[in-house]
Amino acid sequence: MQSMDKRELGLAANEPEFPQTMTFSMALRIDKTDWLAAKKEMAELLKFAREKKMTQNTIMFVRTASDKITSTLTEFNKIKKERAAMAAQAAAQAAVGKEEPAVFTTVAGPTPDFNKDYGVKSLKSSGAKKKNVLRYRASEVPYLLEKGKIDLEKPFLVTDGVNNLDILRRTYTGAKLLANKDVKLRYLSPVKAKARRSFDKQQSDPNEEMEWQLISTEKYFVNCFNLKGKPDFRRLGGAQTEHCEMTVPATALNPNATGLTLKPVAALEGFKVLEDGRNTFVRKADSLQPLVDERINIKSHLSQSASSFFTFGPSGSGEQLKQDAHSFVDGLIHGKRRWFLMRPKDFMDLRKTASEILEPASSFMFFEQQLEELIEDHELGTDIPFYDANQLPGDLIYIPSGLVVTGLNMVDSISYRQHTAPSSQAVADSINQNIWFPESGQVPAGFQFGLCNGFDLDKAGTATGKKVHPNMGAQVSQIMKQFFPTPASHNHLIVEMLSACFATMTGKLQGTYCSSIWKPCVQQLEKNAKTMKAKLPAWLGKTYEDTYANIGKGSSTKTEL
């Protein structure tokens, strides 16, 4: 076969023949004893490449390797200092006879890294790099809040904001959780947790509640930590634990938790007036179980509407970027957590330009695989701002509603969290938005009171003083009938409203629809019960006053954190 010359191939006679432009990823391995030598050698190579005026690609290749070595050593030294400080703290506590663990899942041992029985090894990263969240001292926050000198539209940290930290660290540990045989945790398998992640899900899915398993704390520590695990198959923080962060109503772990208060931000604890009444109603909720779908645990479901929680999880756990309907303050008791926050507009701008990178993913995958690429290639942090912060034990972090946020547990962690509100009217508005708020367009939340009127939205609008346009009303009724086709599916939403209203009226909160909706909601619940050949429990009266007299008022002990 006759070969083709360069002219036939379209090449100039003197043009050299080479492959097309290509990008290579080169491996670099450094033994444990060679780090300092490698750092020195790479610096010398970089200097030599610059002196010889080598091509930019060659210089960039050597510089990248040099930077990787330097940054890895820097992060390692930071982590080493943190671990040394934690070990010193543990030794000091042991010297005075305290039983406080160094971290959430360490009972005893020479290092605070991870317990040989069930702790998960901490992540290697030192966490936030920007650290651009404003920080205050605990002593100054009450005055600044009173004078309106703190911008509640922005996140902020409060140093040493958790009072009685020593007591709390001994009280809320993995060992104490394991000993709690009464609490059940709402757990999603890794597959289901991944399937639920989405940036675009807006409406409530009535079948979503049925995806959760209620498991014991022992089962949770087996699934998510190293409880009963063999030494050769230890669980690693990250891909194996990303789905494992739990948010549990505070009273599930401590019946007196309705009285816990985060002292520096007590002025923002508007939702606290609801906790006592809500907890009282939830304690009676078992008797409402025959009225709802058997696959929904109504007691567990109602408890999720609490406004104070304990949040805990192993190293590497944390869920996707999301918006919370409420602003909240979180006080870290054990561990270390990294937070990433963005304004919604900035997040949407980033999605437009980086949709191929920014996909719904766990917090670990976001920090591990997405963040650096977003910073380097899509102007995140320059043209598109974000907040980045580390939270250490004793720190409070305040996060306003509406921000897009994710938090990653860098080590095994537990914190106490409360929803916040700047005023009692803001709390009342929040209650109303889940009863009758047609201007939101949200189904079912904005139209739930319609279920107490047989889907007669006009009647519901008359009772609340907020009418719905007839065309919109017909469309919403059709959607609600499609998603909530049975009396049982109506009932769990009606019970939600009654639970919220019992808490509201017990807390003497003014400005809600509760006094107007109580009687029609109980009447509709009774009609639905007859259809299902069931009965309302005797304690649920036609008026709030009768119900209150039947089940009484809960009690709590105030404790400052």
Note whether 557 and 259 are within 8 A (CB).
Answer: yes
Q: Which of 92-96, 121-125, 146-150, 229-233 has the largest mean confidence?
A: 146-150
Determine the pLDDT at residue 24.
72
Question: Which tokens in the block code for residue 517?
Answer: 């909706």
Question: Which tokens in the block code for residue 402?
Answer: 């509406």
**Burial group, residue 198, by CB count within 10 angstroms (0-12, 13-18, 19+):** exposed
Q: Tell me the C-alpha distance between 452 and 456, whole Å.
A: 8
The Cβ of residue 144 has, within 10 Å, a number of other Cβ atoms equal to: 14
Query: Which residues lie below 8 Å from residue 143, measured CB to CB, with a gap of 6+?
Result: none
Beta-strand pair 260-261/322-323:
unpaired
Element (H, E) at 187: strand 184-187
Determine the pLDDT at residue 28.
84
Percent of the chain scoring above 70 in pLDDT:
86
Instruction: Convert 414-443 to b/e letters by CB count within 10 Å (16 or more is b).
Output: bbbbbbbbeebebbbebbbbbbbbbeeebb
Reported as a pLDDT band with limits 50, 70 and 90, residue 111 is: very low
Determine the pLDDT at residue 554.
46
Q: Tell me the C-alpha distance between 300 and 296, whole Å.
A: 8
The least confident of 136-140, 176-180, 310-314, 338-342 is: 176-180
Contacts of 31-35 with C-beta under 8 Å, sequence gap 24+, read 35/69, 35/72, 35/73
pLDDT digits (tens, 9 = 90+) for 239-250: 999 999 999 999
CA atoms within 13 A on the CB side of 414: 23
Reported as a pLDDT band with limits 50, 70 and 90, residue 18 is: confident
Q: Tell me the C-alpha distance between 257 and 303, whole Å.
A: 13
Phi, psi of 7 (to 5 degrees): -65, -40
**Of 473, 418, 415, nearest to 447 (Cα)?**
473
Query: Which residues lie below 8 Å from residue 191, measured CB to CB, with a gap of 6+?
Result: none
For residue 549, give Cα distances in angstroms to 255, 289, 310, 505, 513.
21, 22, 31, 13, 21
Determine the pLDDT at residue 26.
73
The sign of the CA dihedral 462, 464, 469, 473 is negative
The yes-or-no verdict on residue 179 having pLDDT over 70 is: yes
Q: Tell me the C-alpha distance between 416 and 396, whole Å.
A: 9
pLDDT digits (tens, 9 = 90+) for 292-338: 998 889 998 899 899 999 999 999 999 999 998 899 999 999 999 99
Determine the pLDDT at residue 191.
93
The least confident of 148-152, 183-187, 227-231, 431-435 is: 227-231
pTM exceeds 0.85: no
Average pLDDT of 108-114?
43
pLDDT digits (tens, 9 = 90+) for 68-95: 888 778 767 766 676 666 556 555 555 5
Q: What secondary structure letter does DSSP report for 200? A: S
Question: Which residue in this structure is represented by tokens 């920080």?
Answer: 135
The distance of Cα 550 from the centroid of its chain, to the nearest Å, equals 36
pLDDT digits (tens, 9 = 90+) for 416-451: 999 999 999 999 999 999 999 999 888 888 999 999
The yes-or-no verdict on residue 97 having pLDDT over 60 is: no
> Could you please report the per-residue DSSP string of 231-298?
GGGPPPTTTTTTT--EEEEHHHH-TTGGGEE-GGGGGGBTTHHHHHHHHHHHHTGGGGGGGS-TTS-H
Determine the pLDDT at residue 60.
80
Beta-strand pair 413-420/184-187:
unpaired
pLDDT digits (tens, 9 = 90+) for 195-219: 999 988 644 455 566 688 999 999 9
Question: Which tokens in the block code for residue 197?
Answer: 């992640």
Q: CA-based angle 253:257:258, to the nearest 5? A: 135
- What ranges in 284-387 are assigned the alpha helix state H? 298-303, 344-353, 363-365, 371-377
Length of the chain: 561
Determine the pLDDT at residue 387.
97
Beta-strand pair 322-323/404-409:
antiparallel
